[in-house]
Structure formats: C-alpha cells, structure tokens
C-alpha cells in the first residue's frame, strides 16, 4: 500500500466490521456488489480484467467498489513494484466468510425464483 493509499483510507469513514448488519447495508447498497465479489472470487484480480468481465460497470464505480471492499476488510489490495504499476485484489479470510453470506442470499433468490416469488409458511 502506497503512502497516498494510506492517506486516502485515513480520510475515508471507518466501517465497524464487528457490526455485520451495518457492513451488509454498506456493501449491498450498490447494484454491482455481487458482480464484483463473484468476479474476484473466480480469480479475476486486476482492475482492468474485472472491468472487462462485468458488462456495463464503469471504471469509477468499479474503483469505488474496490476501495470500499478493501476498507471493509473484504479485499486485500496488492501493489507490485513494477513499471507500469500492477495492482491486484484478493479476498481476505474475512472476505471468504463474507462471500458465504452473499452465496446464501443468491440461494434465497434462486428459491424465490423457483416458487414464483412466494414464500412458504407465510403468516396472515
């Protein structure tokens, strides 16, 4: 992490990773969250490659998502001392656990899709 990255992160509002509900609200607040998480989990780690793998995402939105996930401890940003500079993003151990929550949300959606959007055991 470069000095400018550290300065940027110091200015960003801090998330409380101990409050999973708050973290979920913050992370799930963007329509691109699932796509970015899935893409990095599949091993696509460089920002340009991530952008090419997610149809319709802008560079700005991707950059914001990557910074947000890094700040939240879901991604680790690795910068290589090369010219031109190379940066990769990887899931942290916490990110892998967090991804399990996302997969459960996807399972729930699949179940709802199968039943036409109705939930069983509804109470009147």
CA gap 70, 72 in Å, rounded: 5
Q: What string of pLDDT tens digits covers the 124 residues of the chain?
A: 555 555 544 544 455 545 666 666 666 667 888 899 999 999 999 999 999 999 999 999 999 999 989 988 999 999 999 998 899 999 999 999 888 888 888 888 888 888 876 665 554 4
What's the pTM? 0.70
Structural domains in the chain, sorted by start: 3-114 (1.10.10.10)
What per-residue string of b and e applies to 8-45 under the rule 16 or more CB within 10 Å gives b?
A: eeeeeeebeeeeeeebeebbeeeebbbbbbbbbeeebb
């Amino acid at each position: 992490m470069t000095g400018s990255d550290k300065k940027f992160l110091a200015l960003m509002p801090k998330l409380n990773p101990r409050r999973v509900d708050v973290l979920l609200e913050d992370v799930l607040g963007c329509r691109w969250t699932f796509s970015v998480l899935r893409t990095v989990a599949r091993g696509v780690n460089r920002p340009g490659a991530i952008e090419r793998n997610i149809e319709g995402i802008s560079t700005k939105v991707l950059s914001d998502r990557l910074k947000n996930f890094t700040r939240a401890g879901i991604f680790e940003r690795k910068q290589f001392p090369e010219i031109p500079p190379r940066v990769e993003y990887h899931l942290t151990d916490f990110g892998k656990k967090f991804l399990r929550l996302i997969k459960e949300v996807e399972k729930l959606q699949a179940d709802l899709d199968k039943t036409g959007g109705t939930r069983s055991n509804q109470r009147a």
